[in-house]
Amino acid sequence: MLRVARWLCAVLGGVILGSGLVLHGQVAMARYMRAEVDSTFFLWRAIGRATFAFQGGDTQMALAMSNVPEAALVESDRAGWVLVIVGSLVALTGPLLRRGRAPAGKSVAKRA
């Protein structure tokens, strides 16, 4: 039973940790896209927004991500950190689980 609990802690912690890292990656990508759109000449930005439906997928994504409010990115970044910390704690819990007492019929050799 202890093996299952350790395995479950490791898997659950890894999933939570991984989702936090994915969220950090998405926030970093959104900030990068926002910076790229902001550094583009204003006329090209206006043309890109006017012809949004005719743009490629990368350009559409960059234009859409530039409209995400900064407050949403800050909150997503905080949520990512929380997921990373909680996932790390859950993953490290597995190896720290104590072993139970030996069954009554089996004796454990005493150390000298």
| pLDDT tens digits, 15-39 | 999 999 999 999 999 999 999 888 8
Statement: residue 112 has pLDDT above 60? no
Tokens 């490290």: give the residue. Answer: 92
Distance CA 9, CA 11 (A): 6
The pTM assigned to this predicted structure is: 0.74
Please say if the pLDDT value at position 58 is more than 60. Answer: yes
For the segment 49-55, the average pLDDT, to the nearest whole number, is: 86
